[in-house]
């Protein structure tokens, strides 16, 4: 059988950023699945609220301090996160390293605040349906923050190693930036549900 070369693609890069990357599409699919989980938890929260004669059930409304502080930390973290994306696109190794260190700290700080957030709910997970859904929502979001922090730490370790010279790593950093934006965006409706809906 005779082979015929249709077109020479050897000049194309081995890895691309954004939509040119397969991991970008995988991350988008992952966020779609997780976003559906968050949407379902909010729907369950609102459904249980519609059935209850009083909401919250046998508990005062959660304290605002911890949840609001966490929200502020997440929103502020978007600034270095977006800068990190820009630096990754430019393949500026020095700035990417600094950005990953900053984003590691920016990911750990909300986890520390989250420790105080659970007691601020004034309800245990097994007290009522209200307690169960609020703890579930906080637990889901905590898992996502923790997941991204671990991913950021791994990327930081890679960028400080001999693997940093691979262009593919900058795409990984860019995808991680996108996922952190998702973590912050999903927190906003959860924050409103947990802290402001019970005050209506």
Gap between the Cα atoms of 13 and 191, Å rounded: 42
pLDDT tens-digit readout, 161-181: 887 777 778 889 999 999 999
Q: Where residue 150 falls among pLDDT bands split at 50, 70, 90?
A: very high
Six-digit token string for 14? 């081995």
N-term to C-term CA, the chain: 75
Residue 168 has a pLDDT of 79
Alpha helices (H) along the chain: 22-51, 64-90, 93-120, 129-159, 167-191
Give the residue carrying structure tokens 């046998």: 58
Residue 9 has a pLDDT of 60
Burial class (CB in 10 A: 0-12, 13-18, 19+), 197: middle
With a cut of 80, say whether residue 111 has pLDDT above it. yes
Cis amide prior to 104 (ω within 30 degrees): no
Residue 190 has a pLDDT of 96
Higher pLDDT among residues 9 and 46, named by residue: 46
What domains are defined for the chain? 21-199 (1.20.120.80)
- Supply the DSSP string of 96-111, one letter for each residue: HHHHHHHHHHHHHHHH
Cis amide prior to 56 (ω within 30 degrees): yes
Residue 10 has a pLDDT of 65
Mean pLDDT value of segment 37-50: 96
Q: Where residue 109 falls among pLDDT bands split at 50, 70, 90?
A: very high
On whether the CB atoms of residues 85 and 174 are closer than 8 A, the answer is: yes
Gap between the Cα atoms of 185 and 182, Å rounded: 5
With a cut of 70, say whether residue 69 has pLDDT above it. yes
């Amino acid at each position: 059988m005779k082979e015929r070369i249709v077109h020479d693609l050897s000049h194309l890069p081995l890895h691309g950023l954004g939509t040119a990357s397969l991991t970008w599409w995988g991350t988008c699919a992952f966020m779609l699945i997780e976003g559906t989980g968050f949407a379902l938890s909010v729907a369950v929260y609102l459904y249980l609220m519609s059935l209850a004669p009083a909401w919250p059930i046998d508990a005062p409304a959660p304290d605002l301090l911890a949840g609001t502080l966490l929200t502020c930390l997440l929103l502020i973290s978007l600034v270095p996160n977006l800068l990190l994306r820009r630096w990754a696109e430019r393949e500026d190794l020095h700035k990417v390293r600094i950005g990953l260190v900053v984003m590691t700290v920016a990911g750990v700080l909300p986890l520390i605040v989250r420790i105080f957030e659970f007691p601020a709910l004034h309800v245990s997970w097994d007290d009522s349906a209200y307690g169960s859904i609020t703890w579930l929502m906080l637990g889901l979001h905590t898992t996502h923050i923790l997941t991204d922090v671990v991913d950021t730490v791994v990327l930081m370790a890679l960028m400080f190693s001999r693997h940093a010279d691979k262009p593919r790593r900058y795409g990984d950093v860019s995808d991680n930036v996108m996922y952190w934006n998702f973590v912050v965006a999903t927190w906003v409706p959860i924050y409103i549900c947990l802290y402001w809906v019970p005050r209506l």
